[in-house]
Structure 1
Amino acid sequence: MLPVVSIQNRERPDRPRADPGTAPAAHSAQWLLHMLTGALDELDYGLLILDTTGHLMQANQMGHQHCTALHGSCRLQDGRLHTRAGSDDPVLQRALTQAAAGRRSLLKLGEGPHVETVAVVPLGSPQGGRADGAILLVFGKLQVCEALSVEHFARVHSLTHAEGMVLTALCSGDEPSAIARRFGVAVSTVRTQIASVRQKTQAASIRDLVRQVAMLPPIVSVLGHEAAH
């Protein structure tokens, strides 16, 4: 948090005086940019910032993953964003043109099971028919919640290892019978574990339990950071 300066500019006697010729590191543009970049990398939404011609200006690590994934809907070529399905290119270009004029849109890009939802958001105020700043692309989440967030959630609520695995499977959309087959146990065992998880988390239903997990803040693995750089 940046220090607060009173309007009278009084200084506490126990606080050392700062050299007026030296700017604190916390106030420098480079420091703020570094902190902002780190904060964006902690989000589990893919973020791309483009100029109005579609050239990449900035991306967080999840944004890079969306553009390099084998089945991703978008790719980068010569610093410019393209879609992998040629039929999607006009859709993306139309959305970028609309964003340049200050209008938001929501796109479906990709084919079959690899369809991605992408929000296209203008940044800055439109001036003279085009956005004064840039365009933000926000990709939908790849999963309900990051694995590390689920792991910490399980630890906070004292779930057993087996209960944590069942919780992860539920958040992936699996039914109790499918979970039982995956782990080689009886369905009754899975239902008992689900009941225990609900009791420990005070969830009214499986839907409420998944909702709790879906609303968790992301905790992105350090391995993801290393893979993105």
Structure 2
Amino acid sequence: MSMAIDQRLEAGALAAASPADPAMASTARTGHWLAGLLDQIDYGLVVLDETADALHVNRAARDWLSSAAAPLRIHGGRIEAVSVREAGVFRRALAGAVVRGWRALLAFDEGGEGVVATVGPLPGPRAAIPGLALLVIGRRHACDALTAQMFASRHGLTPTEAQVLDLLCTGLTPREIARRQGIAVSTVRSHVGNIRSKTRAKSIGRLVREVALLPPSGHALGASSGLAVS
């Protein structure tokens, strides 16, 4: 099996590739862009072997695993559950995926918020790749912040309206936004009305769904990248 998606391999392959070895150079280039591609996905993706060693961890998974409240963590290159109870559940799910090809849905309580993940066999071109499993971590928010910002710019929202839209996309109600921002609920509702007018949204629920269905917008490029609006 090609391990081009393994980040540990990418760096070495890029350094070792030479014009005299076009096959190695091609593998390095493939690993480089494929890792970048996976980093654009808003779902955390971790490729694991039967011992829970992480062969690849994308950006979203790295961010989640490094957060203080995450029920899973990466330690010494291995994925581990923080609590003893969840460790047993995770081990059984991983064994079921690698040995039997089963898929499991795992629900974690992360700081009072439910986080869902799935563990299943790693799919290949024609069948599951033996000995490997794929951990997929659910999104914690309906919309990513950069996509919401670009959507706001496209529709001419003011910075305040864009901030309200971003908070709506995280699941907050107008009353909760007012309490967090220290402003009147009527002010928030006024901003919401302006947002709906500018975006021609029939409802806030429809608007949030529209933003949530937009593709992610270049997280790996960093916060310094400019916004292009058309």
Give the TM-score of the pair, scaled to structure 1. 0.77
Query: Does residue 107 of the first structure (1) align with residue 125 of the second (2)?
Result: no
Q: Do the aligned partners of 2:52 and 2:79 also contact (CA within 8 Å) in 1? A: yes
For 2:194, the equivalent position in structure 1 comes to: 196
Distance in 2, Cα, partners of 1:124 & 1:161: 43
Residue 221 of structure 1, CA deviation: 5.8
Q: Do the aligned partners of 1:88 and 1:110 also contact (CA within 8 Å) in 2? A: no
Distance in 1, Cα, partners of 2:113 & 2:171: 17
Name structure 1 gaps, 5 residues minimum.
1-20, 225-229
Name structure 2 gaps, 5 residues minimum.
1-19, 224-230
Residue 120 of structure 1, CA deviation: 0.9
For 1:18, the equivalent position in structure 2 comes to: none
Residue 71 of structure 1, CA deviation: 0.9
Alpha-carbon displacement from aligned partner over 1:128-173 (angstroms, at most 9, x marks no partner): xx95151110111132222111110100111111111111121122
Q: Do the aligned partners of 2:44 and 2:137 also contact (CA within 8 Å) in 1? A: yes
Alpha-carbon displacement from aligned partner over 1:194-214 (angstroms, at most 9, x marks no partner): 122112222211111111121
Q: Do the aligned partners of 1:44 and 1:62 also contact (CA within 8 Å) in 2? A: yes
For 1:4, the equivalent position in structure 2 comes to: none
Which AA in structure 2 matches 1:183?
Q
Distance in 1, Cα, partners of 2:61 & 2:176: 32
Structure 1 residues 111 and 59, CA, compared in 2 at 3 Å: closer, same or farther?
closer
Give the number of aligned pairs. 200
Query: Does residue 138 of the first structure (1) align with residue 136 of the second (2)?
Result: yes
Fraction of identical pairs, as percent: 38
Q: Secondary structure at the match of 2:119?
A: strand
For 2:69, the equivalent position in structure 1 comes to: 71
Q: CA RMSD in A?
A: 2.6
Structure 1 residues 30 and 209, CA, compared in 2 at 3 Å: closer, same or farther?
same
Q: Could you say which structure has the larger radius of gyration? A: 1
For 2:172, the equivalent position in structure 1 comes to: 174
Distance in 1, Cα, partners of 2:49 & 2:21: 34
Structure 1 residues 178 and 67, CA, compared in 2 at 3 Å: closer, same or farther?
closer
Structure 1 residues 124 and 189, CA, compared in 2 at 3 Å: closer, same or farther?
closer
